[in-house]
Amino acid sequence: MVDLSKNDGGGLSPAPLMELATGFWASKTVAAGVELGLFTRLAGGRSVSIEEAATEFGIKIRPASIFLAASAALGLLEKDGEKYRNSPLAEEFLVAGRPSYFGGYITFLDRREYLPWHDVVHALRTDRPVTWDPDAKDSLFTREDPMMMQHFWEAMHSVGYSTARALGAAHDFGSHTRLLDVGGGSGVYSIELCKRYPHLTATVFDLAHVCDIAAAKISESGLDGVVDTVAGDFQEDAVLPGGYDVILLSSVLHNWDEQANRELLRKCWEALPSNGAVVICELLLDSSRTGSPAAALMGMNMLVETERGMNYSGAEYASWLTDAGFGGISTTPFDAPHGNAALVARKP
């Protein structure tokens, strides 16, 4: 995040504000690289000159030169002589087709959220989302929204891959045997956790059309019979499926308000056996609600995207868990795109 302590030698400098205000220059440059397939074309150590890039992408020399220079300055490309190649970051996360590919999330942000964010002041004034119309649709997650069906679930799989792996390293799932992944989306958390912990089986519990997406991802991963799906609505259904000793809520609770989240945690408590655990994976705000920047800005995105969502602090989650009857609450920090900590609580 921007260093707000910068100064020009004579006091405060507006340079940090310049960096904040022009942040979209960087994000749109990255999105352009993903859309053009720049990093995928340079996979495996391939390099191109400005002239070669211009020919390959069907653009003129001037924009090719500007684009490659900007991509290198952002740490996405490296220059060797007169040629450019992928940096390690781009090679790992921006080459399409690889398990770690992050480009799906970048594409979603660019095509779904970039323009609606222009109306963020309207969202602030009306307390209504600007990416969809609640008067015309029942839910943000409806099957009828082509943008959501085409990009959202793939984006969540993309961003969830690294987060799931970080969660699996941060919390020891070795003491669990059956995982219920509530609001599990594409199934990426269940897939990656079951890969890391071979004794673990998992069920993705989500809306029927989302379960179809998860089932395809599960088959692609070769985990049929290890991970399965159960269709349902964790908000509308009176109870959650039983028979599991751990329930995962990853990037779920920030979509809803306190009342809805307390009700969901109550359902988790009722569904778990004695000594069963609930694991919450989120971008947590600190106790003063002034950071982290990633968590606070995700909260702003919830204002743009949802009717009732916002990001919460670890203390708020701990209070709700305690009120629901859970104990032994612990927080394990980690660093990932869609989570900075895991809160774990157990049913006595």
In contact, 101 and 93? CB cutoff 8 Å: yes
Query: What are the respective helix, strand and coil percentages of the chain, to the nearest 5?
Result: 50, 20, 35
Neighbouring CB atoms inside 10 A of 30's CB total 22
Of 245, 309, 253, which Cα lies nearest the Cα of 280? 253
Whether 254 is a known active-site residue: answer yes
Beta bridge mates, 179? 202, 246
Q: Which of 151, 171, 176, 254 is catalytic?
A: 254
Beta bridge mates, 336? 339
End-to-end CA distance of the chain: 41
Give the β-pairing of 246-250 and 77-80: unpaired
Give the β-pairing of 201-206 and 227-231: parallel
Say if residue 252 is exposed, middle or buried (CB neighbours under 10 Å; 0-12, 13-18, 19+): buried
CB-hemisphere CA count at 13 Å for 249? Answer: 27
List Cα–Cα distances, 153 to 159, 179, 311, in angstroms: 10, 21, 20
Of 236, 10, 204, 24, which Cα lies nearest the Cα of 114? 24
In contact, 68 and 76? CB cutoff 8 Å: no
In contact, 154 and 108? CB cutoff 8 Å: yes
Amino acid at 116: P
Would you name the residues annotated as active-site residues? 254
